[in-house]
Amino acid sequence: MKERKKTIQLEPRPERISSADGDGATTVGIVANYDDSGETRFLLTPEACGLIGASGLRVMIESGAGAGISFPDESYAGFGVEITTRDRAMKCDIVVSFAPLRELDILRMRKGGILLCMMDATLYEREIVDALLDHQVTVCCLDNMESFNGIPVFADIIDELDGRASIIYAQHSLSLLGGGKGVILAGVAGLNPCEVLVLGDGNVEIAAAMAALDAGAYVTLMNNDISALQSARQICGPQLNTVAMHPRVLFNKVKTADVILAGTCTRPFEFPLKLRLAMKPNVFFLDFNETHPSVTAPRTVAMALSNPLVNFFDEMLLKDGFDAMLSTSPGMQRGIITYRGNLVDKPVASALGMPCVDLSIILAGRN
């Protein structure tokens, strides 16, 4: 792509959103994941699409897009959703995709359109950002958004699903069916339960610890911040064993653990490669920074994320449009990466060495 000439637009003119077919209704187009991406998660179920359509929006979905969550086109059509081509879905006023779109698809969108998606490394690529800016696409990353009370609802849902799914996979891995030793996490009379070691202090680690406790395992949560361990104990209860991350203690815990789940600690920590040599044979090891277990539970993801998305569209209509909603929702503003030809996300701008505009200044210029 040719080098773009940057023009900062501080006072974009409000535009009335109208349907590509001219009926005046705001259109929402849902598109499928890329076949070669490995992404299977999805954002909306047929029932959720029906609720969104009943509120006054016109909902379209790319044919076959819901196949990954075991919902055929007929399920969506039964709730009044229009089954269409990818090209037509891309021309809608609001395009919904779990992962950010690639460059060619961005250019197929309506100029000045809106993309709702989840954040990933794609949005740190210069070609993608240039295409978004040139096409004046507004990108709203749902997992960067916060509710009115400061809760990152979408991000928390994915974290909880990742954490709980990790314990399901751990149990399968320990069983004979999964190629393990043929054990279960829980103990029975006369036998100790399996040991689960969780490293980190985020929502995904807490969810994994709680799921492991529910399964009957002996769970240790390690972190390099005592206050975070205190908070985890308050959430999970006294049955959770919380331990400060000391080299010798960590070594001993790794040596006896049947399941090891590595996440993000309060202060930077990288699991030492030499500790892998101390692990038991057939130990189940998972690094949350490298994989998302919920990617294999796309139907559950869609059902869980549909609820806040329906509320999102309801609020958008209540506030008379996306821009009006954005102006009055500071938590929503945190999810905006690009807005009408301007890059407004500081981390992305810093990583790419590009100028960043303060979104609040742009919004103030509109009011």
**pLDDT tens-digit profile of 283-321?**
999 999 999 999 999 999 999 999 999 999 999 999 999
- Local structure of 80: helix, strand or coil: coil
> Distance between CA atoms of 133 and 135, rounded to whole angstroms?
5
What is the model's pLDDT at position 18?
A: 40
**145 pLDDT tier (thresholds 50, 70, 90):** very high
Confidence category of residue 12, pLDDT binned at 50, 70, 90 = very low
Q: Is the pLDDT of residue 226 over 80?
A: yes
- Looking at residue 270, its amino acid is E
Tell me how far apart the 2 most distant CA atoms of the chain are, in Å: 73
Sheet of 259-262: strands edge to edge? 241-244, 218-223, 195-199, 259-262, 284-287
pLDDT in the model for residue 195: 97
Q: pLDDT band at residue 273, thresholds of 50, 70 and 90?
A: confident
* Residues facing 287 on adjacent strands: 262
CB 173 within 8 A of CB 281: no
The secondary structure of 243-268, three-state, reads EECCHHHHHHHHHHCCEEEECCCCCC
CA distance 353 to 283: 43
Alpha-carbon span 234 to 97, nearest angstrom:
37
Residue 323 token pair: 């821009």
Percent of the chain with pLDDT over 70: 93
Q: What are phi and psi of 312, to 5 degrees?
A: -60, -50
- 23 pLDDT more than 80: no
Q: Which two tokens stand for residue 103?
A: 């460059």
| Domains (range + CATH), the chain | 27-150+296-366 (3.40.50.720), 156-295 (3.40.50.720)
CB neighbours (10 Å) of residue 265? 20
User: Quick one: which H or E segment has residue 28?
Assistant: strand 27-30
Residue 13 pLDDT > 90: no
pLDDT on residue 272: 82
At 17, the pLDDT band (50, 70, 90 cuts) reads very low
What DSSP string runs through 267-312? S-----GGGGGGSPTT-EEEETTT--GGGG-HHHHHHHHHHHHHHH
CB within 8 A of 29, min separation 6: which ones?
60, 61, 62, 84, 88, 89, 90, 91, 92, 94, 95, 96
On the CB side of 285, how many CA atoms lie within 13 Å of its CA?
Answer: 14
Residue 7 pLDDT greater than 90, yes or no: no
The answer to which of 6-15, 19-28, 221-230, 327-336 has the lowest mean pLDDT is 6-15
Query: Per-residue pLDDT averaged across 67-88, rounded?
Result: 97
For the cut 90, the answer to whether the pLDDT of residue 5 exceeds it is: no
Query: 301 in the Ramachandran plot: left (φ > 0), alpha (ψ -120 to 50) or beta?
Result: alpha
HSE, side-chain direction, 13 A CA sphere, residue 136? 12
Rounded percentage of the chain residues whose pLDDT exceeds 90? 87
pLDDT band at 365, cuts 50/70/90? confident
Question: What mean pLDDT comes out for the span 80-94?
Answer: 98
Q: CA-CA distances (angstroms) from residue 50 to 57, 94, 267, 323, 363?
A: 10, 16, 44, 23, 32
Question: What is the Rg, in whole angstroms, of the alpha carbon atoms belonging to the chain?
Answer: 23
Question: Which pLDDT tens digit goes with each residue over 336-356?
Answer: 999 999 999 999 999 999 999
Helices (H), 28-185: 46-54, 73-77, 86-90, 103-108, 126-134, 153-174
CB–CB of 106/137 below 8 Å? Answer: yes
Give the tens place of pLDDT for each residue, 54-74: 999 999 999 999 999 999 999
Mean pLDDT of 39-56: 97
The mean of the pLDDT values for the chain is 92
Residue 312: per-residue pLDDT:
97
